A and B are shown apart, each in its own frame.
Chain A
Amino acid sequence: EAGVVQSPRYKIIEKKQPVAFWCNPISGHNTLYWYRQNLGQGPELLIRYENEEAVDDSQLPKDRFSAERLKGVDSTLKIQPAELGDSAVYLCASSLVGKSSYNEQFFGPGTRLTVL
Chain B
Amino acid sequence: QQQVKQSPQSLIVQKGGISIINCAYENTAFDYFPWYQQFPGKGPALLIAIRPDVSEKKEGRFTISFNKSAKQFSLHIMDSQPGDSATYFCAATRTGGGYQKVTFGIGTKLQVIP
A residues in contact (CB < 8 Å) with B: 4, 31, 40-45, 48, 50, 55-56, 91, 93, 97-99, 101-110
Main secondary structure of the interface of B (DSSP, over half): strand
Cβ of B98 within 8 Å of any chain A Cβ, yes or no, is yes
CB of B21 to closest CB in A, whole Å: 13
Q: How far is the CA of A108 from the CA of B104 in the complex (A)?
A: 16
Which of A45, A101, A109 is B102 in contact with, Cβ under 8 Å?
Answer: A45
Q: Number of B residues contacting the other chain (C-beta, 8 Å)?
A: 24
Whether the pair B32, A44 counts as a contact (CB closer than 8 A) is no
B18 located at the interface, meaning its Cβ lies under 8 Å from any Cβ of chain A in the complex: no
B44-A41 in contact (CB<8A): no
Do B32 and A102 have beta carbons less than 8 Å apart? Answer: yes
Q: A42-B104, A43-B104, A102-B34 are in contact. Are A107 and B43 (CB under 8 A)?
A: yes
**Which residues of chain B have C-beta atoms less than 8 A from A102's C-beta?**
32, 34, 49, 93, 100
The majority secondary structure among interface residues of chain A is: loop
Bound complex: CA A103 to CA B95 (Å): 10
Task: Tell yes or no: B89 within 8 A of A by CB.
Answer: yes
CB-based A-B contact count at 8 angstroms: 55
Q: Is the CB of B43 within 8 A of A41?
A: no
| CB–CB A103/B100 < 8 A | yes
Residues in B whose Cβ lies below 8 Å from that of A93: 43
Cα of A98 to Cα of B106 in the assembled complex, Å: 29
Q: Mark B1-14, 1 if CB is under 8 A from A, else 0.
A: 00010100100000
The answer on a CB contact under 8 Å between B100 and A110 is no
Q: Which residues of A contact B44 (CB under 8 A)?
A: 43, 91, 107
Closest to B43 in A: A107
Decide if A42 touches B89 in the complex (CB within 8 Å). yes
New contact pairs (6) apart from A103-B98, A109-B42, CB-CB < 8 Å: A42-B4, A42-B91, A43-B44, A97-B99, A104-B46, A105-B46
